[in-house]
Structure 1
Amino acid sequence: MENYQGSRYVKRTQKDYSMSLKLQVVQEVEQGRATITQVRKQYGIQSHGTVLSWLRKFGNFDWENQNPTNMPKSPEQKIMELEAQVKLLEKQKALLERQAFVADKKAIIFDMMIDIAEQEYKIDIRKNSPPEQSTILKKKNNKQ
């Protein structure tokens, strides 16, 4: 280890940390008791990358597929996730209800605008008759 004058910086290597410390840090981070930054400060680990490498080596997270393995969720975690999902769905429902309300009001207003335009200009804007067939269909029907 090298000591630099004027500061408390001590350069460390992976060998300076015991296996039990590494496993303890990994366990605390994976169980959500502390963040990487918190365990770094608590145990005097200098690099964020050091903790990440321990998580990759000794942790239960599958880093290639980006999903947890062997990490069952506690009932409290499941409940919290479901509560968050319910809140999100309630917000989405409220948003969709507001959008439907606005769309209904717009349809009513557009209907009123068309009625006013028809009265004002004395023209039929809405089509009351079925659309005419295309010329190709007329030719086919005449040939038969």
Structure 2
Amino acid sequence: MEEKPNYVKRTQCDYSMSFKLGVVREIESGEVSTVMVCRKYGIQSRSTVVNWLRKFGNFDWENQTPSNMPKSPEQKVMELEAKVKLLEKQKTLLEKQSYIADKKAIIFDMMIELAEQEYHIDIRKNSPPELSNLSGNNKKKP
């Protein structure tokens, strides 16, 4: 009868920062793959190495392109076209918001005029220019 070796459950390992950076450097230089690094150093999970690459590597995970690799003219054009489309959408949104704000200001102004006529009261502050200059000068004096 064959005896099976006792299975030892692996525990979480704490790796030093220099070790992590060395592994990331090896992978980014193209010497080895993530799977090969796991086998070589006995790292339990490939996702551990991928996390190190995300934290310490030069790869731009947000745009999925290496940040140190030069982009082709076609890639640059595509990125600029995407930015132009985004800016055009933002512009139209801001124009709509500006139009709505202008209409609201006109409506509020009309409401104030109606209220002043209906109730015979001054809602707006109507001070002569001379008084407003004097009040501004009083505030500026120490």
Question: TM-score when scaled to structure 2?
Answer: 0.50
Question: TM-score, normalization: structure 1?
Answer: 0.49
